[in-house]
Amino acid sequence: MQAAKRSSTRAVTFFIGSRDHYQLPLALAERDWLETFVTELYWPLEHPILGPLARRVLGEPYRSKRHAAGLSSTKVTIQWSVLAALAAYQLRPALKNFRTTDRMLGECGRRIAAATGSAVFSYSYYAHAAFEDRGPDRPRHRFIFQVHPHPRSVRRILQEELERYPWAADSLLREEELGPHTRRFEELCEEPALANGWAAASNFTAQTLAENGIPRDSIHVIPYGVDTARFPTPERPRSGTGKLEVVFIGSMIQRKGLCDLLEAMRLLRTREVHLTLAGRGFVDRRLLEHYRDVDFDVREGLDHPSLVRLMHESDLFAFPSLVEGFGHVVVESMSTGLPVLTTAHTCAAELIEDGVHGWIVPIRSPRAVADRLTWAAEHRADLSAMGEAAAGKARELTWQRFREGIAAAYQAMLSA
């Protein structure tokens, strides 16, 4: 009887990779609320035999990417079939089907929850198989952390972008919400409705869930944290002279509002602004080619030290994104002392006081972006003070605060 009571407060969670530096399972493990975390790879560094072997064989970057202090490998279940499938995708990309691997994890989590009487606390994109109503093993407590805004809201925004900027179609049509996989899209849309507890990292994501039928007052908003040691403020103050150095960091695609930023550069009332675009992965070359007349540089594939150096050499971070679940790069940039120019469709509502830490502009507003960039170029001392305020705000956003928020939300969802 005591064991059943204890297991009822515990949760199974699951995802591929090291999403959010394992903060969700860590938040549960810290309070002995984690039944198990299901994933495809996790190094047992605390094991008396395997740990030293892993340290000898693996370099530090590889070790730290798949292990977190405080999350013992004894609380981790490795799903070897998922690892094998991902390896096959590497060898033959044509086989790639994340709906299959995501469902594998969800099915495994569902089985463990049924066997132990545990709750399921799933990230979106993994929850459908664990939550759907198809038998007596359906978990009683089905909690979801919605990583991205609701897919129907995202699809509407991206479809409108195809009409605004047809030269950005190469990247827009790559988005999962506009892709050809109809069943996958419908499953992602169904996930929040199958849950009976909801959490999100931003008010914007919560708003899109409410637009699609989830009670707004039932959604727990828990902003992410930032590792300020990985994104430090520069040792020396920024010079505040020369051209205003503006940096954009993210995928070079229109989902991130890149066309609006480049259109704003065309509208500037000053020539004293230079833009650097930094990112990894797919680059929409046709989009960039359309703006050959704009003064910008492209930096691809920067390692972490080079990225931080670029942030330290910049004066302002511009990120006029159309749709973000949070936009972690916003708080990372703030941590390096950069004021931020972003939209209300990111984490701005949680982090930024307009005119204090940066600016919040509507999406699709090149003129508003241009006006702020022009002001910033002409008020460098004020801009520097905004950067100091942004860094101070970032220091408040610890991962410990995030984990405490997850724990509080979990308790509230169990009691609802």
Burial of 236 (C-beta count, 10 Å sphere; 0-12/13-18/19+): exposed
pLDDT of the chain along its 416 residues, tens only?
333 334 468 999 999 999 999 999 999 999 999 999 999 999 888 888 777 877 777 777 777 789 999 999 999 999 999 999 999 988 888 777 888 999 999 999 999 999 999 999 999 999 999 999 998 999 999 999 999 999 999 999 999 999 999 999 999 999 989 977 789 999 999 999 999 999 999 999 999 999 999 999 999 999 999 999 999 999 877 777 789 999 999 999 999 999 999 999 999 988 999 999 999 889 999 999 999 999 999 999 999 999 999 999 999 999 999 999 999 999 999 999 999 999 999 999 999 999 999 999 999 999 999 999 999 999 999 999 999 999 999 999 999 999 999 999 999 999 98
Contact indicator for 345, 321 with CB cutoff of 8 Å: yes
Contact indicator for 312, 336 with CB cutoff of 8 Å: yes
Strand ranges of the sheet holding 340-343, from the earlier edge strand across to the other edge? 296-300, 273-279, 244-249, 316-319, 340-343, 358-361
Closest CA to 161 of 392, 416, 363, 331: 363
pLDDT at 209: 98
Residues 6+ apart with CB under 8 A from 241: 380
φ, ψ (nearest 5 deg) of residue 298: -115, 130
267 vs 74: CA distance, rounded Å: 57
Please give the domain boundaries of the chain with CATH numbers for all domains: 2-34+83-225+399-415 (3.40.50), 41-78 (no CATH), 244-396 (3.40.50.2000)
pTM: 0.93
Through-space distance between the first and last CA atoms of the chain, rounded to whole angstroms? 23
pLDDT at 8: 60
23 vs 367: CA distance, rounded Å: 38
416 vs 104: CA distance, rounded Å: 29
